[in-house]
Protein backbone atom coordinates (compact mmCIF):
# COMPACT_ATOMS: atom_id res chain seq x y z
CA UNK A 1 0.00 0.00 0.00
CA UNK A 2 1.03 3.53 -0.73
CA UNK A 3 0.02 6.28 1.74
CA UNK A 4 -0.08 9.72 0.13
CA UNK A 5 -0.67 12.76 2.34
CA UNK A 6 -2.90 15.39 0.80
CA UNK A 7 -2.68 19.15 1.11
CA UNK A 8 -4.30 18.62 4.55
CA UNK A 9 -1.66 16.20 5.85
CA UNK A 10 -3.98 14.24 8.17
CA UNK A 11 -6.24 13.36 5.24
CA UNK A 12 -4.48 10.50 3.48
CA UNK A 13 -5.03 8.89 0.09
CA UNK A 14 -4.39 5.15 0.16
CA UNK A 15 -3.41 3.35 -3.04
CA UNK A 16 -3.35 -0.42 -2.74
CA UNK A 17 -1.05 -2.82 -4.47
CA UNK A 18 -3.21 -4.62 -7.02
CA UNK A 19 -2.49 -8.20 -8.05
CA UNK A 20 -3.98 -9.04 -11.44
CA UNK A 21 -4.09 -12.19 -13.53
CA UNK A 22 -6.43 -13.87 -16.01
CA UNK A 23 -9.03 -14.35 -13.23
CA UNK A 24 -9.29 -10.66 -12.34
CA UNK A 25 -7.64 -8.84 -9.46
CA UNK A 26 -7.04 -8.92 -5.71
CA UNK A 27 -6.13 -6.11 -3.33
CA UNK A 28 -6.24 -5.22 0.35
CA UNK A 29 -8.39 -2.19 1.13
CA UNK A 30 -7.37 -2.13 4.80
CA UNK A 31 -4.57 -3.75 6.79
CA UNK A 32 -4.26 -2.65 10.44
CA UNK A 33 -0.48 -3.14 10.64
CA UNK A 34 0.25 -1.27 7.42
CA UNK A 35 -2.00 1.62 8.45
CA UNK A 36 -0.40 1.70 11.91
CA UNK A 37 3.09 1.87 10.35
CA UNK A 38 1.94 5.14 8.76
CA UNK A 39 0.57 6.60 11.99
CA UNK A 40 -3.02 5.52 11.41
CA UNK A 41 -3.97 3.32 14.34
CA UNK A 42 -7.67 2.87 13.77
CA UNK A 43 -10.52 0.86 15.19
CA UNK A 44 -13.48 0.62 12.86
CA UNK A 45 -16.91 -0.04 14.37
CA UNK A 46 -19.36 0.53 11.49
CA UNK A 47 -19.37 -0.04 7.73
CA UNK A 48 -21.66 1.88 5.34
CA UNK A 49 -22.52 1.49 1.67
CA UNK A 50 -24.36 3.98 -0.51
CA UNK A 51 -25.32 4.15 -4.18
CA UNK A 52 -25.64 7.54 -5.83
CA UNK A 53 -26.42 8.59 -9.37
CA UNK A 54 -24.70 11.20 -11.56
CA UNK A 55 -25.23 14.67 -10.17
CA UNK A 56 -25.91 13.58 -6.59
CA UNK A 57 -24.03 15.53 -3.95
CA UNK A 58 -23.97 14.11 -0.41
CA UNK A 59 -22.68 16.22 2.46
CA UNK A 60 -20.92 17.84 3.99
CA UNK A 61 -21.62 15.69 7.07
CA UNK A 62 -19.96 15.25 10.45
CA UNK A 63 -20.86 14.27 14.00
CA UNK A 64 -20.07 16.81 16.68
CA UNK A 65 -20.13 14.58 19.79
CA UNK A 66 -19.27 11.26 18.19
CA UNK A 67 -16.69 12.31 15.59
CA UNK A 68 -16.05 9.67 12.97
CA UNK A 69 -12.90 8.89 11.11
CA UNK A 70 -13.81 7.45 7.70
CA UNK A 71 -11.99 5.26 5.21
CA UNK A 72 -13.88 5.93 1.96
CA UNK A 73 -13.66 3.70 -1.12
CA UNK A 74 -15.58 3.93 -4.39
CA UNK A 75 -16.35 0.31 -5.32
CA UNK A 76 -18.11 1.11 -8.58
CA UNK A 77 -17.96 4.34 -10.58
CA UNK A 78 -16.22 7.61 -9.73
CA UNK A 79 -16.69 10.34 -7.12
CA UNK A 80 -15.17 13.68 -6.19
CA UNK A 81 -14.56 13.11 -2.46
CA UNK A 82 -14.12 16.10 -0.13
CA UNK A 83 -12.90 16.65 3.45
CA UNK A 84 -13.15 20.00 5.29
CA UNK A 85 -11.19 20.69 8.49
CA UNK A 86 -13.64 21.83 11.20
CA UNK A 87 -11.21 21.93 14.13
CA UNK A 88 -11.02 25.58 15.27
CA UNK A 89 -7.61 24.94 16.89
CA UNK A 90 -6.15 23.67 13.60
CA UNK A 91 -3.92 25.76 11.34
CA UNK A 92 -6.01 24.44 8.44
CA UNK A 93 -9.45 25.22 9.94
CA UNK A 94 -12.00 25.80 7.17
CA UNK A 95 -9.72 24.44 4.44
CA UNK A 96 -10.73 21.59 2.16
CA UNK A 97 -9.12 18.90 0.06
CA UNK A 98 -10.61 16.67 -2.63
CA UNK A 99 -9.50 13.41 -4.21
CA UNK A 100 -11.14 11.56 -7.08
CA UNK A 101 -11.94 8.03 -5.92
CA UNK A 102 -12.86 5.43 -8.50
CA UNK A 103 -13.26 1.74 -9.08
CA UNK A 104 -10.64 2.09 -11.81
CA UNK A 105 -8.02 3.66 -9.51
CA UNK A 106 -9.12 1.43 -6.58
CA UNK A 107 -7.91 4.13 -4.17
CA UNK A 108 -9.34 5.16 -0.80
CA UNK A 109 -9.32 8.30 1.30
CA UNK A 110 -8.87 8.36 5.07
CA UNK A 111 -10.64 11.33 6.67
CA UNK A 112 -9.89 11.71 10.40
CA UNK A 113 -12.35 12.78 13.10
CA UNK A 114 -12.83 16.55 13.14
CA UNK A 115 -13.49 16.85 9.41
CA UNK A 116 -16.73 17.18 7.44
CA UNK A 117 -17.11 14.75 4.56
CA UNK A 118 -19.03 14.85 1.32
CA UNK A 119 -18.86 13.78 -2.31
CA UNK A 120 -20.48 14.21 -5.67
CA UNK A 121 -20.96 11.46 -8.22
CA UNK A 122 -19.10 11.85 -11.51
CA UNK A 123 -20.12 8.57 -13.20
CA UNK A 124 -23.63 7.34 -14.14
CA UNK A 125 -23.73 5.70 -10.69
CA UNK A 126 -21.30 5.11 -7.85
CA UNK A 127 -21.23 2.64 -4.98
CA UNK A 128 -19.35 4.14 -2.05
CA UNK A 129 -18.20 2.02 0.90
CA UNK A 130 -16.82 3.55 4.04
CA UNK A 131 -15.55 2.24 7.33
CA UNK A 132 -16.19 4.44 10.39
CA UNK A 133 -14.34 4.76 13.70
CA UNK A 134 -17.55 5.59 15.62
CA UNK A 135 -21.20 4.68 15.19
CA UNK A 136 -23.81 6.91 13.61
CA UNK A 137 -25.67 9.00 16.20
CA UNK A 138 -28.41 11.02 14.44
CA UNK A 139 -28.72 13.72 17.13
CA UNK A 140 -24.98 14.40 16.88
CA UNK A 141 -24.96 14.85 13.09
CA UNK A 142 -24.36 18.29 11.61
CA UNK A 143 -24.21 19.50 8.01
CA UNK A 144 -21.85 22.13 6.65
CA UNK A 145 -23.29 23.96 3.66
CA UNK A 146 -21.82 22.39 0.52
CA UNK A 147 -21.54 25.69 -1.36
CA UNK A 148 -20.36 27.97 1.45
CA UNK A 149 -18.24 30.70 -0.22
CA UNK A 150 -16.07 30.97 2.93
CA UNK A 151 -14.95 27.37 2.36
CA UNK A 152 -14.91 27.70 -1.44
CA UNK A 153 -14.95 24.09 -2.59
CA UNK A 154 -14.31 23.87 -6.33
CA UNK A 155 -16.91 21.22 -7.07
CA UNK A 156 -16.85 19.77 -10.61
CA UNK A 157 -19.11 21.62 -13.01
CA UNK A 158 -22.66 20.28 -12.89
CA UNK A 159 -25.88 21.99 -13.94
CA UNK A 160 -27.85 21.24 -10.77
CA UNK A 161 -26.74 18.97 -7.99
CA UNK A 162 -29.31 16.58 -6.56
CA UNK A 163 -29.40 17.20 -2.80
CA UNK A 164 -31.30 15.80 0.16
CA UNK A 165 -33.40 18.23 2.21
CA UNK A 166 -30.82 17.95 5.01
CA UNK A 167 -27.98 18.91 2.67
CA UNK A 168 -29.96 21.75 1.11
CA UNK A 169 -30.25 23.50 4.52
CA UNK A 170 -26.69 22.91 5.78
CA UNK A 171 -25.19 25.75 7.78
CA UNK A 172 -22.31 27.96 6.64
CA UNK A 173 -18.94 27.75 8.40
CA UNK A 174 -19.69 30.98 10.32
CA UNK A 175 -22.76 29.35 11.93
CA UNK A 176 -22.16 25.60 12.06
CA UNK A 177 -21.09 24.02 15.35
CA UNK A 178 -17.41 23.05 15.04
CA UNK A 179 -14.82 21.19 17.05
CA UNK A 180 -12.55 23.01 19.54
Domains defined for the chain, CATH in brackets:
2-168 (2.60.120.10)
Backbone angles phi, psi at 137, to 5 degrees: -125, 100
Q: What's residue 70's pLDDT? A: 98
pLDDT given for residue 141 in this prediction: 97
Q: What is the mean pLDDT of residues 43-66?
A: 96
Q: Percentage of the chain surpassing pLDDT 90?
A: 97
State the CB neighbour count (10 A cutoff) for residue 157. 5
Average pLDDT score, the chain? 96
Respond yes or no on whether the N-terminal peptide bond of residue 60 is cis (omega within 30° of 0): yes
Tens digit of each residue's pLDDT (9 = 90 or more) over 15-48: 999 999 999 999 999 999 999 999 999 999 999 9
Catalytic positions: 61, 130
Predicted confidence at residue 159, as pLDDT, reads 75
Helix, strand and coil content of the chain, in percent to the nearest 5, comes to: 5, 45, 50
Provide the pLDDT confidence category of residue 157 given band limits of 50, 70 and 90: confident
Neighbours of 6 (CB within 10 A): 16
Distances (CA, A) of 78 to 26, 59, 87, 120, 125: 19, 16, 28, 9, 8
Q: What is the pLDDT of residues 66-112, one digit of tens each?
A: 999 999 999 999 999 999 999 999 999 999 999 999 999 999 999 99
Q: What is the pLDDT of residue 130?
A: 96
Amino acid sequence: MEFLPTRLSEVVEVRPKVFTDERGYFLETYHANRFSEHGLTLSFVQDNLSRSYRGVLRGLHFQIRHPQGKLVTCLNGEIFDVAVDLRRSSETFGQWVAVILSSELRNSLYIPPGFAHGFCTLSPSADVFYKCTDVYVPQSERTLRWDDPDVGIAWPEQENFILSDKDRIGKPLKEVECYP
